[in-house]
Structure formats: structure tokens, C-alpha cells
Amino acid sequence: MTDDTNWKEYFDNLAENEVIEHKKVGWGSNESMYSRFYTALKLLSLKGKECLLDIGCGTAAFEELVVVKYPALEIHAIDISGKELHVARRRNLLVNFKIGSIIDIPYPDSFFNCVTCFGVLQNFNGSLALAITEMVRVLKVKGDIFITTMDNDYVGFKSGERKPNPMNTYYVPEELNELLESKNITVVKMGAISSQKLEGLILPLHQWHTFYVWGQKNIQ
């Protein structure tokens, strides 16, 4: 369902014109936005880790949670939309914000202990393999990678109970898993995240349209 939407323009426009915070990044509700973050924070232990990169940070709602929970962590965040970053910077967080794309991450190899990417791949028309290669490139050995995106095999789409959003790109989770494993990542866990609850609710894969993949980088 990939289209030729110019996602930079799309998100620049949302950041500038939407008033409600979650709408500035295209989420339908606060629950949609925060359920992903709380699930990541439940699963990942960032204690003692030095450096995190969040890709497609939007207005930095995730960063605001992380700064409070892990004050010693060095946080970097990139986004293709300068307008989203403008809103993010207004939070006055100790975060290093930069313009950057998932397929050209402006950091050296093996720089981060953790890379997160919430809800970006569904709004991305490029090569998934290239995006994964870039994310893994900047990750240190034993570092964590946590991605959330949309499931092509969600049972609700198959039954016709819900319709996929034609703007989004949907992925087969097992293919994402295979791709990560081919790039030196061991997948630790995958599951669906119900975005109906603010604090997130982990369900078996395909039971909701949003899924997460959590992996760790191997020693070669």
C-alpha cells in the first residue's frame, strides 16, 4: 500500500497546523501515541545505558518520558520534519535534536546502546532493508533496537472488521523479523500492542494492527 506521499511535507503541515498534541504527529488519540512508549519502557531496561537514539521523534513526547525516568541517559533524536523538531525543542529537554532520515542517519557506526523507532516505517515509502541496515549500523554490539509499526496480517483486516488506512505501509512481522536477523540482530520479542490503552497492552502477534519488534545486536 505504498504511495508517493511526501511525508516530510505531510508532517511539517501537521506540526504547524494541528493544535492537539497527538494530532501533530498524526496519531488518532493519546492512547495511540503513549501505548507504544509505555510498552517500550516496560520491556527495555535503559538503566546503566549511556546513549539512546530515537528515529522519527516527532514532537518528542517519548523523550519527555525518558528524560524523567533515565536522567543520566544521553538522548539523541532525529526527524525529517524541521517543523516537528521545532515543536520538540519547545519542550526544553536535554535532548540533542537533529534533522535526519532513517535511511541516512547522521551518526557514526556503533554509537548507540539503544535505537527506538515508533510509528515511522508505516509512513515511509523507501526500502525497508536500507532503513534496517542504517538502524543496525549505528547500534553498538549488545545494544537494543525497538521498532513499532503496522501489521499487514492483523486478524481484523483479514476478517474485514477493520479497514487498513490506504496512506500507510503495512508489514508482515515475520519478514521484519527475518530481515533483522539477517542484519546481525537476535529478535528477543515480538507482539501486538493494543493502542486502546494509554499504558499499552501486549497481545499475541496479529491480534492488533500495531506490532513491536525488540532485538539485540550480536557480537558479529
Ligand X SMILES: C[S@@+](CC[C@H](N)C(=O)[O-])C[C@H]1O[C@@H](n2cnc3c(N)ncnc32)[C@H](O)[C@@H]1O
Chain residues binding ligand X by CB under 6 A are 7, 11, 25-26, 33, 36, 55-58, 61, 79-81, 84, 101-102, 118-120, 123-124
Q: Which is nearer to ligand X, 42 or 158 (CB)?
A: 42
Q: Which is nearer to ligand X, 3 or 220 (CB)?
A: 3
Q: Is 9 helix (H, G, I), strand (E, B) or coil?
A: helix
Q: Which is nearer to ligand X, 120 or 185 (CB)?
A: 120
Question: Do residues 73 and 108 make contact, with C-beta atoms less than 8 angstroms apart?
Answer: no
Q: Which three cell numbers stand for residue 167?
A: 496512506
Q: Which three cell numbers stand for residue 155?
A: 486478524
Q: How far apart are CA 131 and CA 49, in angstroms?
A: 23
Q: What's the closest the beta carbon of residue 123 comes to ligand X, in angstroms?
A: 5
Q: What's the closest the beta carbon of residue 124 comes to ligand X, in angstroms?
A: 5
Q: What's the closest the beta carbon of residue 177 comes to ligand X, in angstroms?
A: 21
Q: What's the closest the beta carbon of residue 77 comes to ligand X, in angstroms?
A: 9
Number of other CB atoms surrounding residue 196 within 10 Å: 12
* β strands within 119-163, DSSP E: 139-150
Q: Which is nearer to ligand X, 119 or 191 (CB)?
A: 119
Q: DSSP state, 151?
A: B
